[in-house]
Amino acid sequence: MVYDTLLVEVDDHGIATVTINRPDKLNALNAQVIEDLDAFFALAQEDEAIRGVILTGAGSKSFVAGADIARFQELDGVSGKAFAERGQAVFNRIENLPKPVIAAVNGFALGGGSELALACHLRIASDTAVFGQPEVNLGILPGYGATQRLPRLVGLGIATELILTGSMIKADRAYEIGLINRLVPADDLMDSARDMMGTILSKAPLAVAGSLRALRAADQPLSAGLQAEATLFGEACDTADFKEGVAAFLEKRKASFSGR
Ligand code: COA
């Protein structure tokens, strides 16, 4: 797994740590980063050795400081739309991965960087993290999903404020509004992400995958979402891990899940 702009390490527990590696540009998302993320997450979908992904940025200053502004001078109406659609497709692939993805936000998460964190299933941030959607300062609006994912996560009012003012917020405010799941000292960031991932990976894998799929259906009207939940619940009831989980509870022992 060699990528121009990503460092990838997979440990013995199946946790892939993916580091976006352009620290001299604060890990800004150029076209190559987008293509590398697409290729990695396509692989992660298929590769059984990868059970979960932690995404972070190289260096201590930045997670991702946005899309690559150096490229913006080329954009017009047509290419701008294509640019947004390409990024959205890759971020959708991340969000739709049936394995947990945690953003470990180690500094600036601005514009496309904040949107990348929003596309992950969970977000843990260091106390040095800074979030924002500063696109209005450049005469554009978010194009990689913030107008849709941010209101779903923090509510329409706060999302509107962040997007219209372009203000940056620190990690404590991000925690207060529910943008991040955990706020930890910078030195503890990766351990905390691995700890959360370890907890998730100790559960029945098909139940975790089913939960992620059901949670995706939360975008749909309630009746459709509930139907999706019931279907996925039924599928879980057909698994060996369901039998094992219930038997282990009744026998007062720890369950040993096989992922079947
Ligand atoms: N795209 C391209 N390059 C970027 C970038 C981005 N989104 N964000 C930072 N960089 C580059 C800078 O141009 C600089 O490159 P250089 O050393 O070749 O000049 C390098 O990263 C370091 O950034 P710098 O601005 O010098 O660091 P700083 O500590 O003074 O400021 C920020 C940090 C994050 C406040 C500032 O870089 C910034 O505002 N970045 C843009 C954020 C943004 O608007 N993102 C949304 C884009 S839609």
Task: Specify whether 115 is catalytic.
Answer: yes
What residue owns the CA closest to ligand 1's atom 19?
25
Parallel/antiparallel/unpaired status of strands 182-184 and 122-126: parallel
Q: Which atom of ligand 1 is nearest to the CA of 70?
A: 2
Q: Write down the pLDDT at residue 1.
A: 81
User: What's the whole-model pTM score?
Assistant: 0.97
Task: Specify whether 235 is catalytic.
Answer: no
Q: Write down the pLDDT at residue 70.
A: 94
- Does residue 29 line the site of ligand 1, with CB under 6 A? no
Return the exposure string of 120-132: e unless at least 16 CB atoms fall within 10 Å of the residue's CB, then b.
bbbbbbbebbbbb
Active-site pick, 95, 135, 235, 244: 135
Q: Give the pLDDT of the chain (260 residues) as one tens digit per residue.
A: 899 999 999 999 999 999 999 999 999 999 999 999 999 999 999 999 999 999 999 999 999 999 999 999 999 999 999 999 999 999 999 999 999 999 999 999 999 999 999 999 999 999 999 999 999 999 999 999 999 999 999 999 999 999 999 999 999 999 999 999 999 999 999 999 999 999 999 999 999 999 999 999 999 999 999 999 999 999 999 999 999 999 999 999 999 999 99
- Does residue 28 line the site of ligand 1, with CB under 6 A? yes
Residue position matching structure tokens 């299933």: 121
- Does residue 69 line the site of ligand 1, with CB under 6 A? yes
- Does residue 50 line the site of ligand 1, with CB under 6 A? no
- Does residue 68 line the site of ligand 1, with CB under 6 A? yes
What residue owns the CA closest to ligand 1's atom 21?
25
How far is the C-alpha of 166 from the C-alpha of 111, rounded, in Å?
9
How far is the C-alpha of 95 from the C-alpha of 118, rounded, in Å?
9
| Continuous H helices in the chain | 31-46, 77-96, 112-119, 146-154, 156-165, 171-176, 189-201, 205-216, 222-237, 240-250
